[in-house]
Chain A
């Protein structure tokens, strides 16, 4: 037994990897559906969107690439579903080159569910370079920065875009972001400059970065990683991939804790042996 624990000190990390893989895969095959409790910051975003008057225009900034999809795509889908179910109109922008096709896929999926029409109920403006500079520029003119949409249609041909000149026409901004330019820049350059009410969805790794903005009221709601996405799915009563992923996440967290405990037992044992020797 003691030898087993001692060996743990120098365990090959691939053994750890194997266990992690098992803990991720098994719950997907045999879900045990733990109930999801909704946190305050998730509810904040939900309440804000819930409180917008019908017809308001929501801007969604999809600043992520495929790697962020498992965590962030469910958020984009859930936010679109929520907006469309409440008859809000959505325009999407991306400051990451890989963002537009991901946002478009979500758009199309959800628009079909709710019978929404492109150009009237939602618009995908596609990608622009320039990061924070582009954000500030949208404060001057959104059509100026995006003369054409994702499909290269001139924006003046889209009925929804005729109503939009700059952030004054945006009722709420949701930044779904995996890095930079992303939520931090939207808060610094847009929320605080143009007073646009704003919420965000970010990867779990970066979520701690944004709690201070949540606490200062600069972010009115925050979805952190897959857990945040799952909570939002529960709130709009449409559990999706994120809610399904929560079992796997529970299992892996438990596994890591187990490994940490085992690692510590072996560490303490080896230390005792050293002090005896």
Chain B
């Protein structure tokens, strides 16, 4: 028996006597109750472990959380030797905090065993704190040495998002450069988007047939950028219908989108000099509920028989309900959405579909305004940047996987650069 354990036994004996625990036999304590077994050897060992205090948490370090909004101090420690090893009886740790070293420590939280760090989110910026981590087993607690002083402060930059900031600045500068070029009158080429040419044809046919045009701006809220893109397209659509004097029906699923659509359509009719042709009753709020909205729009399709159905914006499961009904009703249909899972439905049931970014490009394409075209060019450059990054990344990762050791460090830097960090 080692010296350490013999000392432990003595400590345990003293501790157990102090705690009033009966170790073996009934002589020293209360008489055994009927059916109660005297403590055997294993029970003895258990009582022994239970009464030995746990090893303390060690190397407690506290420091301000970098790049945060303040009020946070990170505490880390090395866990007790009896946590997951040794007697393995630590049930958790208490975190205590004080503004003076050596006294006045108050419990702020507790954490389960196995944990070696904690973030105090209740600090006052600028106040100096000291921390103690208290290891607990079922019976006893042992305090760690107090940590050094730590104070939280608010920062002006989230350092973990530096990579995103660089990429954002890069991307924005691409866009702004091309916008500036376009402003100076540089001719920019934009490929033809067949879906948008089809929009005009569809409206034309509706006019010939003397039937209305239906424009559904999706069921997204106004804070959905697809909805905003859709409203931009609506401006152009409204101008064409105003010129042709075809009725334009705009059912909406959100009240804010409805009032925005009213404004857009009214302005468009005004700008082509046909304010009288504008009918406010054609811009309707139907329902926020997805399928109530779908049912109502289907009703409009079957009652008012629009000859051209345009679905632009954010769509979910209602996409096919709308597009199939429109198909059955025999309308020309053009859809546009960046909701990837709805694209197959639209492609199946519509004559043309704007896919993903084409929706965002549409307003630039339709207005031909140089500033908007410039931004298209800019985002193309951004896309090229992403493509190159992906190819380079794939090559490096592949090389590392095949054991090209010198690349490991560069590949790590590259991978970390594209890591998206949280708060």
Direct contact of A and B (CB under 8 A): yes
Which residues of A are in contact with B by a Cβ distance under 8 Å? 13, 53, 65, 67, 97-98, 131-133, 139, 165, 168, 178-181, 191-196, 203, 205-209
Q: Taking the complex as formed, is B181 at the interface, i.e. its CB lies under 8 A from any CB of chain A?
A: no
Collect the chain B residues with CB atoms within 8 Å of residue A132's CB: 223
Residue of A with least CB distance to B289: A65
| 28 A/B residue pairs, CB under 8 Å, sorted by A | A13-B328, A53-B112, A65-B289, A65-B290, A65-B291, A67-B290, A67-B317, A131-B223, A133-B223, A168-B119, A178-B290, A178-B316, A179-B219, A179-B316, A180-B220, A181-B221, A192-B422, A193-B423, A194-B422, A195-B423, A196-B422, A205-B342, A206-B316, A206-B341, A207-B341, A208-B340, A209-B339, A209-B340
Collect the chain B residues with CB atoms within 8 Å of residue A192's CB: 420, 422
CA distance A203 to B328 in the complex (A): 26
Collect the chain B residues with CB atoms within 8 Å of residue A131's CB: 221, 223
Q: How far is the CB of A192 from chain B (nearest CB, A)?
A: 5
Total CB contacts across the A-B interface at under 8 A: 56
CA distance A77 to B47 in the complex (A): 43
* Contact between B422 and A165, CB atoms less than 8 A apart: no
Q: What sequence of 0s and 1s flags, for each residue 325-350 of chain B, a beta carbon within 8 Å of any chain A beta carbon?
A: 00010000000000111100000000
- Please name 18 further chain A to chain B contacts, defined as beta carbons within 8 Å, in addition to the given A13-B328, A180-B316, A208-B341, sorted by A numbering: A65-B290, A67-B290, A67-B291, A97-B288, A131-B223, A139-B423, A168-B121, A178-B290, A178-B316, A179-B290, A180-B220, A180-B221, A180-B224, A194-B423, A195-B423, A196-B422, A205-B316, A207-B341
* Contact between A179 and B317, CB atoms less than 8 A apart: yes
Q: Taking the complex as formed, is B314 at the interface, i.e. its CB lies under 8 A from any CB of chain A?
A: yes
Residue of A with least CB distance to B119: A168
Q: How far is the CB of B210 from chain A (nearest CB, A)?
A: 28
Residue of B with least CB distance to A182: B316
Within 8 A of A (CB), among B337-371: 339-342
Known: A13-B328, A192-B422. A203 touches B121 (CB 8 A): no
Q: How far is the CB of B73 from chain A (nearest CB, A)?
A: 13
Interface size class of B (residues with CB under 8 A): 20 to 34
Residue of A with least CB distance to B340: A209
Collect the chain A residues with CB atoms within 8 Å of residue B340's CB: 208-209
Enumerate the 9 nearest inter-chain pairs by beta-carbon distance, A residue then B residue, closest first. Answer: A195-B422, A179-B316, A209-B341, A206-B341, A67-B291, A205-B317, A194-B423, A208-B341, A194-B422
Collect the chain A residues with CB atoms within 8 Å of residue B316's CB: 178-180, 205-206
* Contact between A206 and B317, CB atoms less than 8 A apart: yes
Q: How far is the CB of A204 from chain B (nearest CB, A)?
A: 10
Residue of A with least CB distance to B221: A131
Which residues of B are in contact with A by a Cβ distance under 8 Å? 112, 119, 121, 219-221, 223-224, 288-291, 314, 316-317, 328, 339-342, 420-423
* Contact between B314 and A180, CB atoms less than 8 A apart: yes
Collect the chain B residues with CB atoms within 8 Å of residue A168's CB: 119, 121
Collect the chain A residues with CB atoms within 8 Å of residue B220's CB: 180
Q: How far is the CB of B54 from chain A (nearest CB, A)?
A: 19
Collect the chain B residues with CB atoms within 8 Å of residue A194's CB: 422-423
Residue of A with least CB distance to B160: A195
Q: How far is the CB of A231 from chain B (nearest CB, A)?
A: 20
Q: How far is the CB of B115 from chain A (nearest CB, A)?
A: 10
Collect the chain B residues with CB atoms within 8 Å of residue A208's CB: 340-341
Residue of B with least CB distance to A191: B422
Point out which of A194, A195, A207 has the most chain B C-beta atoms below 10 A from its C-beta.
A195
CA distance A139 to B422 in the complex (A): 11
Residue of B with least CB distance to A169: B121
CA distance A191 to B328 in the complex (A): 42
Collect the chain B residues with CB atoms within 8 Å of residue A195's CB: 421-423
Which of the residues A13, A193, A205 comes within 8 Å of B341, measured between beta carbons? A205
CA distance A205 to B423 in the complex (A): 32
CA distance A132 to B328 in the complex (A): 36
Residue of A with least CB distance to B422: A195
Q: How far is the CB of A23 from chain B (nearest CB, A)?
A: 19
CA distance A259 to B340 in the complex (A): 26
Collect the chain B residues with CB atoms within 8 Å of residue A180's CB: 220-221, 224, 314, 316
* Contact between A98 and B341, CB atoms less than 8 A apart: no
